[in-house]
Structure 1
Amino acid sequence: MTDALPLSLDQADPKDRAMTRAMLYRMVMPDHLCPFGQKSKWLLEHEGYEVEDHHLTTRAQTDAFMEKHGVETTPQTFIEGERIGGYDDLRAFFGDAVKGEDETSYRPVIAIFGTGFLMALAVMWLAGLPLVSLETFTTFVAISMVLLGIQKLQDVESFSTMFLNYDLLARQWVPYGYIYPYGETLAGLLMIAGVLPWLSGPLALFIGAVGAVSVFKAVYIDKRELKCACVGGGSNVPLGFVSLTENLMMLGMGIWTLAQVAL
Protein backbone atom coordinates (compact mmCIF):
# COMPACT_ATOMS: atom_id res chain seq x y z
CA MET A 1 0.00 0.00 0.00
CA THR A 2 1.47 3.34 -1.01
CA ASP A 3 2.41 6.04 1.50
CA ALA A 4 2.00 8.92 -0.97
CA LEU A 5 0.79 12.18 0.54
CA PRO A 6 -2.96 12.76 0.31
CA LEU A 7 -4.12 15.14 -2.36
CA SER A 8 -5.77 18.42 -1.51
CA LEU A 9 -9.53 18.67 -1.84
CA ASP A 10 -9.23 20.47 -5.17
CA GLN A 11 -6.82 17.87 -6.56
CA ALA A 12 -8.82 14.85 -5.38
CA ASP A 13 -10.23 12.71 -8.15
CA PRO A 14 -14.05 13.06 -8.31
CA LYS A 15 -14.21 9.31 -8.76
CA ASP A 16 -12.39 8.82 -5.45
CA ARG A 17 -14.74 11.25 -3.75
CA ALA A 18 -17.71 9.30 -5.02
CA MET A 19 -16.25 6.21 -3.39
CA THR A 20 -16.01 8.10 -0.06
CA ARG A 21 -12.40 7.07 0.40
CA ALA A 22 -10.49 7.84 3.56
CA MET A 23 -6.80 7.45 4.31
CA LEU A 24 -5.80 6.44 7.81
CA TYR A 25 -2.28 6.56 9.20
CA ARG A 26 -1.87 4.65 12.46
CA MET A 27 0.79 2.94 14.53
CA VAL A 28 0.96 -0.83 14.04
CA MET A 29 4.17 -1.99 15.66
CA PRO A 30 5.28 -5.39 16.98
CA ASP A 31 5.02 -4.14 20.57
CA HIS A 32 2.24 -1.56 20.17
CA LEU A 33 -1.05 -1.55 18.30
CA CYS A 34 -2.63 1.88 18.72
CA PRO A 35 -6.17 1.46 20.12
CA PHE A 36 -7.28 4.83 18.78
CA GLY A 37 -6.11 3.79 15.34
CA GLN A 38 -8.25 0.67 15.57
CA LYS A 39 -11.21 2.74 16.71
CA SER A 40 -10.70 5.19 13.85
CA LYS A 41 -10.63 2.40 11.29
CA TRP A 42 -13.80 0.84 12.71
CA LEU A 43 -15.59 4.20 12.81
CA LEU A 44 -14.69 5.01 9.21
CA GLU A 45 -15.87 1.62 7.99
CA HIS A 46 -19.01 1.92 10.08
CA GLU A 47 -19.74 5.24 8.37
CA GLY A 48 -19.40 3.58 4.95
CA TYR A 49 -15.91 4.76 4.00
CA GLU A 50 -13.40 2.75 2.02
CA VAL A 51 -10.29 2.92 4.19
CA GLU A 52 -6.74 3.06 2.87
CA ASP A 53 -5.04 1.76 6.00
CA HIS A 54 -1.43 2.97 6.21
CA HIS A 55 0.60 1.33 8.96
CA LEU A 56 3.37 3.21 10.76
CA THR A 57 5.50 0.25 11.80
CA THR A 58 8.49 1.94 13.48
CA ARG A 59 9.05 4.83 15.86
CA ALA A 60 11.22 6.57 13.28
CA GLN A 61 8.51 6.24 10.63
CA THR A 62 5.93 7.60 13.02
CA ASP A 63 8.10 10.58 14.02
CA ALA A 64 8.84 11.36 10.37
CA PHE A 65 5.12 11.27 9.53
CA MET A 66 4.22 13.62 12.40
CA GLU A 67 6.97 16.05 11.49
CA LYS A 68 5.96 16.03 7.82
CA HIS A 69 2.33 16.84 8.56
CA GLY A 70 2.92 19.12 11.54
CA VAL A 71 0.99 16.96 13.99
CA GLU A 72 1.88 15.68 17.46
CA THR A 73 -0.18 12.50 17.61
CA THR A 74 -1.39 9.57 15.58
CA PRO A 75 -3.67 8.24 14.22
CA GLN A 76 -4.46 10.82 11.56
CA THR A 77 -7.33 10.55 9.09
CA PHE A 78 -7.59 12.24 5.69
CA ILE A 79 -10.91 12.40 3.85
CA GLU A 80 -11.02 13.65 0.27
CA GLY A 81 -7.53 15.05 0.73
CA GLU A 82 -8.36 17.08 3.80
CA ARG A 83 -6.85 16.18 7.17
CA ILE A 84 -9.56 15.47 9.73
CA GLY A 85 -7.25 14.67 12.63
CA GLY A 86 -7.18 12.10 15.41
CA TYR A 87 -9.89 9.86 16.78
CA ASP A 88 -11.70 12.59 18.72
CA ASP A 89 -11.59 14.87 15.69
CA LEU A 90 -13.02 12.06 13.59
CA ARG A 91 -15.87 11.55 16.05
CA ALA A 92 -16.60 15.27 15.93
CA PHE A 93 -16.50 15.15 12.12
CA PHE A 94 -19.27 12.56 12.19
CA GLY A 95 -21.33 14.60 14.64
CA ASP A 96 -20.47 12.70 17.81
CA ALA A 97 -19.79 15.31 20.50
CA VAL A 98 -16.65 14.62 22.50
CA LYS A 99 -16.86 15.61 26.14
CA GLY A 100 -14.00 17.63 27.58
CA GLU A 101 -12.21 16.69 30.79
CA ASP A 102 -14.13 19.27 32.79
CA GLU A 103 -17.61 18.41 31.49
CA THR A 104 -19.88 16.73 34.00
CA SER A 105 -21.97 13.61 33.44
CA TYR A 106 -24.37 11.44 35.41
CA ARG A 107 -23.39 8.35 33.42
CA PRO A 108 -21.23 6.79 36.19
CA VAL A 109 -23.97 6.92 38.84
CA ILE A 110 -26.61 5.76 36.36
CA ALA A 111 -24.42 2.76 35.56
CA ILE A 112 -23.87 1.95 39.23
CA PHE A 113 -27.48 2.35 40.33
CA GLY A 114 -28.76 0.51 37.26
CA THR A 115 -26.40 -2.40 37.86
CA GLY A 116 -27.21 -2.38 41.57
CA PHE A 117 -30.92 -2.64 40.84
CA LEU A 118 -30.43 -5.54 38.42
CA MET A 119 -28.24 -7.29 40.98
CA ALA A 120 -30.94 -6.86 43.61
CA LEU A 121 -33.49 -8.44 41.24
CA ALA A 122 -31.07 -11.31 40.63
CA VAL A 123 -30.70 -11.89 44.37
CA MET A 124 -34.47 -11.87 44.86
CA TRP A 125 -34.90 -14.30 41.96
CA LEU A 126 -32.27 -16.66 43.33
CA ALA A 127 -33.83 -16.55 46.79
CA GLY A 128 -37.30 -17.21 45.38
CA LEU A 129 -38.65 -13.93 46.78
CA PRO A 130 -41.02 -11.45 45.10
CA LEU A 131 -39.21 -9.15 42.71
CA VAL A 132 -41.43 -6.21 43.62
CA SER A 133 -41.04 -5.87 47.37
CA LEU A 134 -39.49 -3.80 50.13
CA GLU A 135 -36.71 -6.39 50.38
CA THR A 136 -35.79 -5.72 46.76
CA PHE A 137 -35.41 -2.01 47.45
CA THR A 138 -33.36 -2.47 50.63
CA THR A 139 -31.12 -5.00 48.86
CA PHE A 140 -30.72 -2.55 45.98
CA VAL A 141 -29.59 0.21 48.35
CA ALA A 142 -27.15 -2.10 50.17
CA ILE A 143 -25.63 -3.34 46.90
CA SER A 144 -25.35 0.21 45.58
CA MET A 145 -23.50 1.22 48.75
CA VAL A 146 -20.95 -1.52 48.11
CA LEU A 147 -20.57 -0.60 44.43
CA LEU A 148 -20.08 3.07 45.30
CA GLY A 149 -17.63 2.12 48.03
CA ILE A 150 -15.57 0.09 45.55
CA GLN A 151 -15.26 3.15 43.30
CA LYS A 152 -13.89 5.18 46.19
CA LEU A 153 -11.54 2.43 47.41
CA GLN A 154 -9.74 2.35 44.06
CA ASP A 155 -8.02 5.62 45.01
CA VAL A 156 -8.78 6.70 48.55
CA GLU A 157 -6.28 9.55 48.40
CA SER A 158 -7.95 11.10 45.36
CA PHE A 159 -11.41 10.56 46.86
CA SER A 160 -10.51 12.20 50.16
CA THR A 161 -9.15 15.26 48.35
CA MET A 162 -12.35 15.81 46.36
CA PHE A 163 -14.46 14.94 49.41
CA LEU A 164 -12.85 17.80 51.35
CA ASN A 165 -14.41 20.28 48.94
CA TYR A 166 -17.82 19.91 50.54
CA ASP A 167 -18.08 17.39 53.40
CA LEU A 168 -18.49 19.23 56.69
CA LEU A 169 -17.02 16.54 58.94
CA ALA A 170 -14.01 15.86 56.71
CA ARG A 171 -13.23 19.57 56.78
CA GLN A 172 -13.09 19.44 60.56
CA TRP A 173 -11.34 16.07 60.79
CA VAL A 174 -9.37 15.11 57.68
CA PRO A 175 -9.06 11.36 58.50
CA TYR A 176 -12.82 11.00 58.03
CA GLY A 177 -12.26 11.31 54.27
CA TYR A 178 -10.02 8.24 54.42
CA ILE A 179 -12.36 6.25 56.66
CA TYR A 180 -15.56 6.99 54.73
CA PRO A 181 -15.08 4.51 51.82
CA TYR A 182 -14.40 1.64 54.21
CA GLY A 183 -17.39 2.53 56.38
CA GLU A 184 -19.77 2.75 53.42
CA THR A 185 -18.57 -0.55 51.96
CA LEU A 186 -18.69 -2.34 55.32
CA ALA A 187 -22.21 -1.13 56.07
CA GLY A 188 -23.43 -2.28 52.67
CA LEU A 189 -21.84 -5.72 52.99
CA LEU A 190 -23.30 -6.26 56.47
CA MET A 191 -26.75 -5.25 55.23
CA ILE A 192 -26.57 -7.63 52.26
CA ALA A 193 -25.57 -10.46 54.61
CA GLY A 194 -28.16 -9.46 57.21
CA VAL A 195 -25.65 -9.59 60.05
CA LEU A 196 -24.54 -7.18 62.79
CA PRO A 197 -27.40 -4.72 62.29
CA TRP A 198 -26.34 -2.94 65.49
CA LEU A 199 -23.20 -1.90 63.57
CA SER A 200 -24.43 -1.43 60.00
CA GLY A 201 -27.51 0.58 61.04
CA PRO A 202 -25.75 3.35 63.02
CA LEU A 203 -22.89 3.40 60.49
CA ALA A 204 -25.20 4.01 57.52
CA LEU A 205 -27.31 6.45 59.53
CA PHE A 206 -24.28 8.51 60.53
CA ILE A 207 -22.65 8.52 57.10
CA GLY A 208 -25.93 9.32 55.34
CA ALA A 209 -26.90 12.11 57.73
CA VAL A 210 -23.55 13.90 57.58
CA GLY A 211 -23.42 13.49 53.82
CA ALA A 212 -26.95 14.75 53.24
CA VAL A 213 -26.40 17.87 55.35
CA SER A 214 -23.04 18.54 53.65
CA VAL A 215 -24.41 18.22 50.12
CA PHE A 216 -27.54 20.25 50.90
CA LYS A 217 -25.45 23.08 52.37
CA ALA A 218 -22.92 23.12 49.52
CA VAL A 219 -25.47 22.94 46.68
CA TYR A 220 -28.68 24.54 47.90
CA ILE A 221 -27.45 27.05 50.50
CA ASP A 222 -23.96 28.04 49.37
CA LYS A 223 -24.90 27.55 45.67
CA ARG A 224 -21.52 26.05 44.85
CA GLU A 225 -20.87 24.18 41.60
CA LEU A 226 -18.74 21.20 42.54
CA LYS A 227 -18.02 17.67 41.41
CA CYS A 228 -19.20 14.80 43.55
CA ALA A 229 -16.76 12.26 44.97
CA CYS A 230 -19.54 9.65 45.18
CA VAL A 231 -17.99 7.49 42.44
CA GLY A 232 -14.38 8.28 43.27
CA GLY A 233 -12.03 11.22 43.22
CA GLY A 234 -11.56 11.26 39.45
CA SER A 235 -15.24 11.49 38.54
CA ASN A 236 -17.03 14.25 36.64
CA VAL A 237 -20.38 13.68 38.35
CA PRO A 238 -21.90 17.02 39.40
CA LEU A 239 -22.66 17.50 43.07
CA GLY A 240 -26.41 17.90 43.41
CA PHE A 241 -29.68 16.01 43.59
CA VAL A 242 -28.19 12.59 42.79
CA SER A 243 -25.55 12.99 45.51
CA LEU A 244 -28.19 14.08 47.98
CA THR A 245 -30.35 11.09 47.04
CA GLU A 246 -27.43 8.70 47.65
CA ASN A 247 -26.97 10.02 51.16
CA LEU A 248 -30.69 10.03 51.91
CA MET A 249 -30.88 6.39 50.80
CA MET A 250 -28.09 5.48 53.23
CA LEU A 251 -29.79 7.51 55.95
CA GLY A 252 -33.05 5.69 55.31
CA MET A 253 -31.34 2.29 55.31
CA GLY A 254 -29.74 3.09 58.64
CA ILE A 255 -33.10 3.99 60.15
CA TRP A 256 -34.74 0.89 58.65
CA THR A 257 -32.02 -1.43 59.94
CA LEU A 258 -32.24 -0.02 63.46
CA ALA A 259 -36.03 -0.25 63.34
CA GLN A 260 -35.78 -3.95 62.50
CA VAL A 261 -33.51 -4.48 65.49
CA ALA A 262 -36.01 -2.73 67.77
CA LEU A 263 -38.92 -4.92 66.60
Structure 2
Amino acid sequence: MSTVVANAGKKAVIHRMVMPSHTCPYGLKAVDLLKRSGYEVEDHHLTTREETDAFKTEHDVKTTPQVFVDGRRIGGYDDTRRFLGKTVVDPKATTYRPVAVLFAMTALTAMAASFAVSGNPLTLRALEWFISFSMVVLALLKLQNVETFATMFLNYDLLAKRWVPYSYIYPYAEGLAGILMVAGALTWLSVPVALFIGTVGAVSVFKAVYIDRRELKCACVGGSSNVPLGFVSLTENLMMIAMAVWMGLSALGIIPAGHAM
Protein backbone atom coordinates (compact mmCIF):
# COMPACT_ATOMS: atom_id res chain seq x y z
CA MET A 1 0.00 0.00 0.00
CA SER A 2 2.85 2.42 0.86
CA THR A 3 4.40 1.90 -2.59
CA VAL A 4 1.10 2.77 -4.28
CA VAL A 5 0.73 5.94 -2.20
CA ALA A 6 4.35 7.00 -2.86
CA ASN A 7 3.88 6.58 -6.61
CA ALA A 8 0.42 8.13 -6.79
CA GLY A 9 0.17 10.65 -9.61
CA LYS A 10 3.33 9.44 -11.31
CA LYS A 11 3.21 8.48 -14.95
CA ALA A 12 4.88 5.66 -16.84
CA VAL A 13 5.10 5.10 -20.58
CA ILE A 14 5.25 1.59 -21.96
CA HIS A 15 5.83 0.34 -25.49
CA ARG A 16 4.73 -3.26 -25.97
CA MET A 17 3.83 -5.72 -28.73
CA VAL A 18 0.10 -6.04 -29.41
CA MET A 19 -0.39 -7.78 -32.73
CA PRO A 20 -3.30 -9.76 -34.20
CA SER A 21 -1.33 -13.00 -33.75
CA HIS A 22 0.65 -12.14 -30.62
CA THR A 23 0.24 -10.09 -27.46
CA CYS A 24 3.41 -9.95 -25.37
CA PRO A 25 2.66 -11.48 -21.95
CA TYR A 26 5.47 -9.52 -20.29
CA GLY A 27 3.90 -6.34 -21.60
CA LEU A 28 0.62 -7.25 -19.95
CA LYS A 29 2.41 -8.08 -16.71
CA ALA A 30 4.34 -4.80 -16.80
CA VAL A 31 1.18 -2.73 -17.32
CA ASP A 32 -0.55 -4.54 -14.45
CA LEU A 33 2.47 -4.11 -12.18
CA LEU A 34 2.73 -0.38 -12.88
CA LYS A 35 -0.98 0.21 -12.29
CA ARG A 36 -0.93 -1.76 -9.05
CA SER A 37 2.07 0.31 -7.99
CA GLY A 38 0.10 3.54 -8.41
CA TYR A 39 1.32 4.65 -11.83
CA GLU A 40 -0.81 6.18 -14.54
CA VAL A 41 0.21 4.20 -17.62
CA GLU A 42 0.51 5.62 -21.12
CA ASP A 43 0.25 2.44 -23.15
CA HIS A 44 1.76 2.39 -26.66
CA HIS A 45 1.11 -0.65 -28.83
CA LEU A 46 3.60 -1.96 -31.36
CA THR A 47 1.21 -3.52 -33.84
CA THR A 48 3.53 -4.86 -36.53
CA ARG A 49 6.91 -6.58 -36.68
CA GLU A 50 8.29 -3.65 -38.69
CA GLU A 51 7.11 -1.15 -36.07
CA THR A 52 8.64 -3.28 -33.32
CA ASP A 53 11.99 -3.59 -35.10
CA ALA A 54 12.06 0.16 -35.75
CA PHE A 55 11.41 0.86 -32.06
CA LYS A 56 14.21 -1.48 -31.00
CA THR A 57 16.62 0.19 -33.41
CA GLU A 58 15.63 3.69 -32.30
CA HIS A 59 16.17 2.94 -28.61
CA ASP A 60 19.02 0.44 -29.09
CA VAL A 61 17.22 -2.35 -27.22
CA LYS A 62 16.86 -6.03 -28.01
CA THR A 63 13.50 -6.77 -26.40
CA THR A 64 10.10 -5.33 -25.62
CA PRO A 65 8.26 -4.21 -23.58
CA GLN A 66 10.20 -1.10 -22.63
CA VAL A 67 9.08 1.12 -19.76
CA PHE A 68 9.93 4.80 -19.35
CA VAL A 69 9.41 6.89 -16.20
CA ASP A 70 10.05 10.65 -16.25
CA GLY A 71 11.70 10.28 -19.64
CA ARG A 72 14.17 7.74 -18.31
CA ARG A 73 14.20 4.26 -19.80
CA ILE A 74 13.70 1.69 -17.07
CA GLY A 75 13.77 -1.41 -19.27
CA GLY A 76 11.68 -4.57 -19.50
CA TYR A 77 9.45 -6.36 -17.02
CA ASP A 78 12.25 -7.61 -14.74
CA ASP A 79 13.93 -4.19 -14.81
CA THR A 80 10.62 -2.60 -13.86
CA ARG A 81 10.27 -4.96 -10.90
CA ARG A 82 13.76 -3.98 -9.73
CA PHE A 83 12.95 -0.28 -10.22
CA LEU A 84 9.89 -0.70 -8.01
CA GLY A 85 11.89 -2.53 -5.35
CA LYS A 86 10.34 -5.92 -5.98
CA THR A 87 12.14 -9.24 -6.15
CA VAL A 88 13.02 -10.84 -9.46
CA VAL A 89 13.00 -14.62 -9.65
CA ASP A 90 16.20 -16.21 -10.92
CA PRO A 91 15.07 -18.95 -13.36
CA LYS A 92 18.28 -20.88 -12.65
CA ALA A 93 17.98 -20.78 -8.85
CA THR A 94 17.37 -24.10 -7.10
CA THR A 95 14.16 -24.45 -5.09
CA TYR A 96 12.15 -27.09 -3.28
CA ARG A 97 8.89 -25.31 -4.12
CA PRO A 98 7.76 -27.76 -6.88
CA VAL A 99 8.07 -30.75 -4.55
CA ALA A 100 6.48 -28.95 -1.60
CA VAL A 101 3.50 -27.85 -3.71
CA LEU A 102 3.13 -31.33 -5.19
CA PHE A 103 3.07 -33.04 -1.79
CA ALA A 104 0.65 -30.45 -0.41
CA MET A 105 -1.78 -30.98 -3.30
CA THR A 106 -1.61 -34.78 -3.21
CA ALA A 107 -2.14 -34.72 0.56
CA LEU A 108 -5.22 -32.52 0.20
CA THR A 109 -6.50 -34.68 -2.68
CA ALA A 110 -6.05 -37.82 -0.60
CA MET A 111 -7.95 -36.29 2.32
CA ALA A 112 -10.70 -35.10 -0.02
CA ALA A 113 -11.07 -38.59 -1.50
CA SER A 114 -11.12 -40.13 1.97
CA PHE A 115 -13.80 -37.68 3.08
CA ALA A 116 -15.89 -38.45 0.00
CA VAL A 117 -15.71 -42.18 0.69
CA SER A 118 -15.94 -42.34 4.48
CA GLY A 119 -16.83 -38.87 5.73
CA ASN A 120 -13.47 -38.68 7.47
CA PRO A 121 -10.45 -37.02 5.81
CA LEU A 122 -7.95 -38.51 8.27
CA THR A 123 -7.92 -42.27 7.69
CA LEU A 124 -5.31 -44.92 6.97
CA ARG A 125 -6.61 -44.98 3.43
CA ALA A 126 -5.96 -41.25 3.12
CA LEU A 127 -2.34 -41.85 4.11
CA GLU A 128 -2.02 -44.64 1.54
CA TRP A 129 -3.64 -42.45 -1.12
CA PHE A 130 -1.31 -39.56 -0.30
CA ILE A 131 1.74 -41.67 -1.08
CA SER A 132 0.26 -43.43 -4.09
CA PHE A 133 -1.19 -40.19 -5.54
CA SER A 134 2.25 -38.62 -5.10
CA MET A 135 3.85 -41.51 -7.00
CA VAL A 136 1.39 -41.11 -9.87
CA VAL A 137 1.87 -37.34 -10.14
CA LEU A 138 5.65 -37.63 -9.90
CA ALA A 139 5.59 -40.24 -12.67
CA LEU A 140 3.37 -37.96 -14.77
CA LEU A 141 5.84 -35.09 -14.45
CA LYS A 142 8.72 -37.34 -15.49
CA LEU A 143 6.79 -38.70 -18.47
CA GLN A 144 6.08 -35.24 -19.86
CA ASN A 145 9.59 -35.43 -21.31
CA VAL A 146 11.06 -38.83 -20.55
CA GLU A 147 14.20 -38.10 -22.60
CA THR A 148 15.09 -35.07 -20.50
CA PHE A 149 14.28 -36.96 -17.31
CA ALA A 150 16.48 -39.89 -18.31
CA THR A 151 19.41 -37.60 -19.04
CA MET A 152 19.24 -35.94 -15.61
CA PHE A 153 18.55 -39.27 -13.87
CA LEU A 154 21.76 -40.73 -15.30
CA ASN A 155 23.76 -38.19 -13.30
CA TYR A 156 23.22 -40.06 -10.05
CA ASP A 157 21.15 -43.25 -10.26
CA LEU A 158 23.45 -46.24 -9.73
CA LEU A 159 21.42 -48.78 -11.71
CA ALA A 160 20.74 -46.43 -14.63
CA LYS A 161 24.47 -45.76 -14.95
CA ARG A 162 25.05 -49.49 -15.41
CA TRP A 163 21.96 -50.13 -17.54
CA VAL A 164 20.74 -47.03 -19.38
CA PRO A 165 17.27 -48.42 -20.35
CA TYR A 166 16.36 -48.34 -16.62
CA SER A 167 16.30 -44.53 -16.81
CA TYR A 168 13.41 -44.82 -19.28
CA ILE A 169 11.65 -47.66 -17.43
CA TYR A 170 11.71 -45.94 -14.04
CA PRO A 171 8.86 -43.40 -14.51
CA TYR A 172 6.57 -46.04 -16.03
CA ALA A 173 7.31 -48.41 -13.15
CA GLU A 174 6.65 -45.67 -10.60
CA GLY A 175 3.37 -44.73 -12.28
CA LEU A 176 2.22 -48.35 -12.53
CA ALA A 177 2.99 -49.05 -8.87
CA GLY A 178 1.23 -45.86 -7.82
CA ILE A 179 -1.93 -46.60 -9.80
CA LEU A 180 -2.12 -50.16 -8.47
CA MET A 181 -1.65 -48.87 -4.92
CA VAL A 182 -4.44 -46.32 -5.38
CA ALA A 183 -6.72 -49.22 -6.32
CA GLY A 184 -5.30 -51.58 -3.71
CA ALA A 185 -5.00 -54.13 -6.52
CA LEU A 186 -2.30 -56.58 -7.65
CA THR A 187 -0.29 -56.08 -4.48
CA TRP A 188 1.98 -58.94 -5.54
CA LEU A 189 3.15 -56.67 -8.40
CA SER A 190 3.00 -53.15 -6.96
CA VAL A 191 4.86 -53.96 -3.75
CA PRO A 192 8.03 -55.46 -5.26
CA VAL A 193 8.15 -52.80 -8.01
CA ALA A 194 7.87 -49.92 -5.52
CA LEU A 195 10.26 -51.59 -3.09
CA PHE A 196 12.87 -52.16 -5.80
CA ILE A 197 12.86 -48.74 -7.45
CA GLY A 198 12.51 -46.99 -4.09
CA THR A 199 15.48 -48.82 -2.59
CA VAL A 200 17.74 -48.28 -5.61
CA GLY A 201 16.73 -44.63 -5.69
CA ALA A 202 17.31 -44.07 -1.97
CA VAL A 203 20.77 -45.66 -2.09
CA SER A 204 21.66 -43.65 -5.20
CA VAL A 205 20.58 -40.31 -3.75
CA PHE A 206 22.25 -41.03 -0.40
CA LYS A 207 25.54 -41.90 -2.10
CA ALA A 208 25.49 -38.90 -4.43
CA VAL A 209 24.54 -36.34 -1.76
CA TYR A 210 25.91 -37.58 1.55
CA ILE A 211 28.92 -39.67 0.53
CA ASP A 212 30.17 -38.14 -2.71
CA ARG A 213 28.98 -34.64 -1.68
CA ARG A 214 27.86 -33.84 -5.21
CA GLU A 215 25.67 -30.82 -5.93
CA LEU A 216 23.13 -31.99 -8.49
CA LYS A 217 19.59 -31.24 -9.55
CA CYS A 218 16.97 -33.87 -8.88
CA ALA A 219 14.99 -35.48 -11.69
CA CYS A 220 12.12 -36.28 -9.29
CA VAL A 221 9.70 -33.74 -10.80
CA GLY A 222 10.99 -34.02 -14.34
CA GLY A 223 14.24 -33.39 -16.12
CA SER A 224 13.91 -29.61 -16.42
CA SER A 225 13.39 -28.87 -12.72
CA ASN A 226 15.62 -26.79 -10.45
CA VAL A 227 14.98 -28.97 -7.40
CA PRO A 228 18.30 -29.72 -5.69
CA LEU A 229 19.18 -33.34 -5.04
CA GLY A 230 18.98 -33.83 -1.29
CA PHE A 231 16.76 -34.89 1.59
CA VAL A 232 13.52 -33.84 -0.11
CA SER A 233 14.57 -35.87 -3.14
CA LEU A 234 15.29 -38.80 -0.87
CA THR A 235 11.74 -38.49 0.49
CA GLU A 236 10.22 -39.72 -2.80
CA ASN A 237 12.13 -43.00 -2.53
CA LEU A 238 11.58 -43.42 1.21
CA MET A 239 7.84 -42.92 0.69
CA MET A 240 7.78 -45.67 -1.93
CA ILE A 241 9.69 -48.03 0.36
CA ALA A 242 7.37 -47.26 3.29
CA MET A 243 4.27 -47.75 1.13
CA ALA A 244 5.57 -51.03 -0.26
CA VAL A 245 6.35 -52.38 3.21
CA TRP A 246 3.00 -51.16 4.56
CA MET A 247 0.94 -52.72 1.79
CA GLY A 248 2.98 -55.91 1.90
CA LEU A 249 2.31 -56.29 5.61
CA SER A 250 -1.34 -55.40 5.03
CA ALA A 251 -1.64 -58.11 2.37
CA LEU A 252 -0.22 -60.61 4.83
CA GLY A 253 -2.74 -59.53 7.46
CA ILE A 254 -0.03 -58.41 9.88
CA ILE A 255 -1.32 -54.83 10.09
CA PRO A 256 -4.72 -53.26 9.26
CA ALA A 257 -5.36 -52.76 5.56
CA GLY A 258 -6.25 -49.14 4.95
CA HIS A 259 -7.77 -49.90 1.56
CA ALA A 260 -10.23 -52.26 3.20
CA MET A 261 -11.65 -49.54 5.40
TM-score, shorter chain, exceeding 0.5 = yes
Where do residues 7-18 of structure 1 align in structure 2 (5 Å cutoff)?
none
Return the match for 1:88 from 78, 83, 87. Answer: 78
Q: Which position in structure 1 is the counterpart of 2:33?
A: 43
Task: Pick from 156, 161, 170 the counterpart of residue 146 of structure 2.
Answer: 156
% identical equivalent positions: 60
Output the CA distance in 2 between the equivalents of 1:202 and 1:25: 59
Q: Which runs of 5+ in 2 are unaligned?
A: 1-6, 254-261
Using the TM superposition, give the Cα deviation of residue 102 of structure 1 relative to its aligned residue in structure 2, in angstroms.
2.2
> In structure 1, what is the equivalent of residue 165 of structure 2?
175
Gaps of 5+ in 1: 1-16
**Contact preservation (8 Å) 2:150, 2:167:** yes
**Which AA in structure 2 matches 1:140?**
F
SS in 1 for 2:88: coil
Give the deviation of 1:209 after TM superposition. Answer: 0.5
User: What is the Cα deviation at residue 89 of structure 1?
Assistant: 1.4
Cα displacement (A) at 1:133: 2.6
SS in 1 for 2:62: coil
Corresponding residue for residue 62 of structure 2 = 72
| Correspondence 1:136 to 2:130 | no
AA in 2 matched with 1:202 = P
Change beyond 3 A, Cα 1:81–1:256: same
Q: Partners in 2 of 1:261 and 1:248 — Cα distance?
A: 20
Counterpart for residue 107 of structure 1:
97
Aligned counterpart, 1:187: 177
Q: Write the letter of the residue equivalent to 1:194.
A: G
Amino acid at match of 1:92: R
* Larger CA deviation: 128-137 vs 171-180: 128-137
Equivalent residue, structure 2, for 1:4: none
Counterpart of 1:51, as a letter, is: V
Aligned length: 247
TM-score, with structure 1 as normaliser: 0.91
- C-alpha RMSD of the superposition: 1.2
Contact 1:200 1:257 in 2 (8 A): no
Task: Please show how residues 239-250 of structure 1 align to structure 2 within 5 Å.
Answer: 239-250=229-240
Q: Please report the TM-score for the alignment, with normalisation by the length of structure 2.
A: 0.92
Deviation of 1:18 after TM superposition, in Å, equals 6.9
Encode CA deviations 1:129-185: one digit per residue, 9 max, x unaligned.
Answer: 532232211110000100111000000000000000111110010000000010111
Paired position in structure 1 for 2:110:
120
The corresponding residue for 1:10 is none
SS at match of 2:198: helix
2:212 to 194, 203, 222: 222
Q: C-alpha distance in 2, partners of 1:102/1:189?
A: 33
**CA shift for structure 1 position 100:** 2.6
Tell me, yes or no, if the aligned pair for 2:110 and 2:130 is still in contact at 8 Å.
Answer: yes
